[in-house]
Amino acid sequence: MLPEFDLVMPENLQQALENLGQRNPGVVPVAGGTNLTVDMRSRRHTPATLVNIEHIQELTGILQEDDRIEIGSCVTIAEILKSPIIAAVAPALIEAARGFANPLIRNRATIGGNLADASPAADTAPSLLVHNAQVELWSKKNRRILPLDEFFVGVRKTVLQPDEIIKSVHVPKTNRPSASSFYKLGLRKADAISVASVAVYLEKKNGACGQVRIAMGSVAPKPLRAYAAEELLTGKHLSLKLIEEAAKLAAEASSPISDIRGSAEYRRRMVFVLTRRLLTHLAEMMELKDW
């Protein structure tokens, strides 16, 4: 059963930010509530006041700008899944949405909520990381834009201040030939927390690998990039050997724990396997394979 709480229903973003403006940790924004209500029912989290931002217009919708798209923080996973705009710019995010929980949760859960919750297993994080996404954070007094990589601090910890909310997520567009992909390894085909997940973004430049970005989930206190692996590949022709070396570097960059879903050794190995598979797949897709 949910503990007692006050519910505030602001009509617009300004009102919501006013409500959060006292920087009171007992006042918490809520949208889909798919994480928060679970925590509240089990009384792990008992905020005194919930500010419902779910229907605030400024936080909904997917905007097309010249150089980026802006996904409102209250856009649901189901909306992402059927967005042609996102499919064109960030295919890996579509793949993440497809494997996200189940249809009921996808109808409620929002992209902002998934990031603000900051689970190491957050399904949208690796894909957004490889697309160099930024988060736009608003408070009553302040607005700032941060690279997503700087947003996460640790297990369920972010730089988000008590008076701040995520206004939107920016995903840059590119004119260069590129592709991205995401794979989540769970203990069940659907509706399972990932044991390990990897996203890869790849650009093609002069017949070789241009910019490349690799990100991993569930294998460290926060979703993280595999910078050393990326560096190794940039500007190179993609041989199977090189891909394996990069996958090894990605695995080395992970720092998984053992829990009931899998051992640390298994997870580290899966980073290697998934990174290699995704790189191979994208190299084939982009006609970059040098083998």
| Binding site residues, other proteins, CB under 8 A | 1-4, 42-43, 185, 187-193, 195, 260-263, 265-267, 269-270, 273-274
Taking the least distance from each CB to other proteins, the nearer of 129 and 274 is 274
Taking the least distance from each CB to other proteins, the nearer of 108 and 205 is 108
Taking the least distance from each CB to other proteins, the nearer of 146 and 273 is 273
At its nearest, how many Å lie between other proteins and the CB of residue 111?
20
At its nearest, how many Å lie between other proteins and the CB of residue 80?
21
At its nearest, how many Å lie between other proteins and the CB of residue 209?
23
At its nearest, how many Å lie between other proteins and the CB of residue 174?
31
List Cα–Cα distances, 150 to 111, 125, 129, 145, in angstroms.
Answer: 17, 12, 10, 10
Taking the least distance from each CB to other proteins, the nearer of 63 and 187 is 187
At its nearest, how many Å lie between other proteins and the CB of residue 128?
23
d(C-alpha 129, C-alpha 269), whole Å: 21
Taking the least distance from each CB to other proteins, the nearer of 192 and 240 is 192
Taking the least distance from each CB to other proteins, the nearer of 195 and 238 is 195
At its nearest, how many Å lie between other proteins and the CB of residue 208?
27
Taking the least distance from each CB to other proteins, the nearer of 40 and 94 is 40
At its nearest, how many Å lie between other proteins and the CB of residue 197?
12
